[in-house]
Amino acid sequence: MRLDRLSLRDFRNYAQLDAAFVPGVNLILGDNAQGKTNLLEAICYLSTGRGFRARKEAELLRFGADFAEVQAQVHGQDRDRELRAVLFAGKKPRQLFVGGVKQKSFAGMQGLLTTVLFCPEDLLVLKSGAAQRRRLLDNALCQLRPGYDRALTEYNRLLEHKSRILKDWRAYPSLSDTLPEFNLRLAQVGAILIGYRANYLDKLDRCTAQYHRAFSGGKEALRLQYKTVSTIADPHACRAELEGWILEHQQAHLQAELESGQCLTGPHKDDFDVVLDDISLKSFGSQGQTRTAAISLKLAEREIFRDDTGEEPVLLLDDVLSELDARRQDFVLNQIKTGQVFITCCEKDKLTNLGAVTVIEGGRKVKEE
């Protein structure tokens, strides 16, 4: 998998960008706040259909712009393809094109550019809140499984609707009559998400453990454990069973939801535990252990993508190498000798010799070497 060219128009702080990239290592160099991460976010947008820092799509448009455009020339599955996304201010839905042909939904673009993103927040992902760990799962599964992307989009829409009902039902009591209908659909779609997550976490568990063992010189054993709705006896059970268990949980928490005005039940609260030699990393892991585990997790993600799609995903390393000590930097650099990599960094240092350099300044490309 390769990204050969990228063009942006009114995306984040880029009025206009046209850049070409090499198949190996691409260094994106520039001072703080010049647009390095924005460039990676544009690449991510074409692979996941979402901006990784944006809560709302409108944030991706350059301030004051009516529309934004991201266009890329990618090579994958032995073919060159042109991917294009046009985003609009206001309510007009985005438009997605593959080879000039308009797609009905992101499903038409899914899998054509696969990426694994690694940024400094990911180094803390095993210590931070559950939302960050869910984002990690969502990001991977949205690229690998079209069914997951569809289910997640529907789930989030239903959840937003249900949240509004729970907030407003006191003022408009008849609203609560519609809750059972929402709960049923949430249970159906939630069961789909849980099934996918359980399978993916199994693979991630096996693969992360291998990297971590190698990384820690065989000293530490690491395990990932899926935590989902508490009534679920087995997340690998069939959809109908999962659905039944979710409905049971919903029923038990209905009163509490009405009283608190919040959605308290469902896979939007999912998480996974990381256990290191039988001890919870989240509570007891040292900073070094946490970082090592996070790196193992990311390398595992990349390997799963490779096994699943038959191609090396494009690796996006946002500022992460400069955060690591020399030993960990070397471990990562040794593991990523194949495939295409984008690395952002601020200074010209030892990384500069790794590959082609694109210098970014104020949302413009000023140099290509």
| From ligand ATP, Mg ion, none, interface partner of 346 (C-beta below 5 to 8 A by class) | ligand ATP
**Which listed range, 59-67, 146-154, 269-277, 285-293, lies at the site for ligand ATP (CB under 6 A)?**
59-67
Among 2, 35, 46, 207, binds ligand ATP (CB under 6 A): 35
Residue 232 contacts residue 250 (beta carbons within 8 Å): no
Regarding 174 and contact with ligand ATP (CB under 6 A), the answer is: no
Q: Which residues contact 51 (CB under 8 A, 6 or more apart)?
A: 41, 44, 45, 57, 59, 60
Q: Which residue of the chain is nearest Mg ion when measured via CB?
A: 37
The type of residue at 268 is H
Residue 317 contacts residue 345 (beta carbons within 8 Å): no
Q: Which is nearer to Mg ion, 187 or 317 (CB)?
A: 317
| From Mg ion, ligand ATP, none, interface partner of 33 (C-beta below 5 to 8 A by class) | ligand ATP
Exposure string over 42-59, b if 16+ CB within 10 A, otherwise e: bbbbbbbbbbbeeeebee
Residues 24-53 that bind Mg ion (CB under 5 A): 36-37
Which helix H or strand E contains 356, and what residues bound it? strand 356-361
Regarding 63 and contact with ligand ATP (CB under 6 A), the answer is: yes
| From ligand ATP, Mg ion, none, interface partner of 32 (C-beta below 5 to 8 A by class) | ligand ATP
Residue 186 contacts residue 158 (beta carbons within 8 Å): yes
Residues 306-345 that bind ligand ATP (CB under 6 A): 319
Q: Which residues contact 134 (CB under 8 A, 6 or more apart)?
A: 268, 270, 271
Residues 340-359 that bind ligand ATP (CB under 6 A): 346
Regarding 51 and contact with ligand ATP (CB under 6 A), the answer is: no
Regarding 335 and contact with Mg ion (CB under 5 A), the answer is: no
**How many C-alpha atoms does 151 have within 13 Å on its Cβ side?**
23
Q: Which is nearer to ligand ATP, 18 or 181 (CB)?
A: 18
| Interacting residue ranges for Mg ion, rule: CB under 5 A | 36-37
| Interacting residue ranges for ligand ATP, rule: CB under 6 A | 12-13, 30, 32-38, 59, 61-63, 319, 346
